[in-house]
Amino acid sequence: MYKQLEERDQTRPPVNVSTLMRMKAEGEPIACLTAYDASFARLVDDAGTDVVLVGDSLGMVIQGHDTTVPVTVDDIVYHSRAVARSLRHAFLMADMPFMSFSSAQQALENAVRLMQEGGAMMVKLEGGASQVNIVEHLAGHDIPVCAHLGLRPQSVHKIGGFKVQGRENEQARQMLADARALEAAGADVVLLECVPNEVGKAIRDALNVPVIGIGAGPDVDGQILVLYDVLGITQGPMPRFVKNFMLDSATPIDACAAYVSAVKDRSYPAPEHCFS
Ligand code: KIV
């Protein structure tokens, strides 16, 4: 890891938690993508991506499952390790899979595996107020944490499908309260999935830490998409927020660079990618 850090391109200093806080404060949108292997990780890093997520979406786009539920800690460690070898600039976040953080002790053990074996610099976990003690425990051990709110794909069987969250006032109010509680517990980043624009904006305005959206509208601090959706590899019906950047690009790296610049100049997401 130290060798890898030394070899990073110092003309584009590596992104860290302070960089993300500064970007929020200065209003510079944070461009994030998923990656699952060394070759794509190099490509998204070279394209200027700020944060790379080894998401449990790998269960769907790499392993062919219908949901993220079957993904294990071993799976994330394996893919994260491959991605970590390629990154020179981007900050590496890795997902805590389903049931890998059901107690504070289990969460700590698995987060340590993602960081020590997988090279992750931050772990992401899905959950609302019920995860406050877990976030507090991880933060208390200096583990950077991203709290994932809104649509939580690991809860798909409980929710009854991949549905927009926070459309009802009470649900939106609860999500805002959860976001505040998670920030107070030590979350360094909040990720919001599939919520109406106004919920994205309200949570972004309420928090000091960066809020990254996927289907959360334009008024958040950054955007994230699944790489295979950006490259038009994923087949079948797409969620509204997806944009295939390969359609206007000659090569995969051009498509990733077009995504990064569209996030930075706020031309993505456009109204057709948003929920009301
Ligand atoms: O697993 C994943 O790729 C994610 C993103 C969709 C945010 O959580």
Residue 234: the pLDDT is: 94
pLDDT (tens digit per residue) in 205-251: 999 999 999 999 999 999 999 999 999 999 999 999 999 999 999 99
Residue 273 CB partners (closer than 8 Å, separation 6+): 215, 240, 241, 242, 243
Q: 226 CB under 6 A from ligand 1?
A: yes
Could you tell me the domains of the chain?
14-273 (3.20.20.60)
Residues facing 92 on adjacent strands: 52
What positions carry a catalytic annotation? 193
Find the mean pLDDT for residues 241-266: 98
Ligand 1: residue whose CA is nearest its atom 1: 55
pLDDT (tens digit per residue) in 132-152: 999 999 999 999 999 999 999
Substitution candidate for ligand 1 out of 53, 191, 211 with most atoms within 8 A of CB = 53
How far is residue 88 from each of residues 5, 34, 69, 154, measured CA to CA in Å?
7, 15, 31, 30
Nearest to 194 by CA among 147, 129, 149: 149
Atom of ligand 1 nearest to the CA of 57: 1
Average pLDDT, the chain: 96
Q: 242 CB under 6 A from ligand 1?
A: no
pTM over 0.85: yes
Alpha carbon distance 63, 214 (integer Å): 22
Number of H helices, E strands in the chain: 12, 8
pLDDT (tens digit per residue) in 42-62: 999 999 999 999 999 999 999
> Cα–chain-centroid distance for residue 10?
25
pLDDT (tens digit per residue) in 57-90: 999 999 999 999 999 999 999 999 999 999 999 9
Alpha carbon distance 194, 117 (integer Å): 31
Query: Residue 226 C-alpha to ligand 1 middle, in angstroms?
Result: 7
Q: 231 CB under 6 A from ligand 1?
A: no
pLDDT (tens digit per residue) in 15-37: 999 999 999 999 999 999 999 99
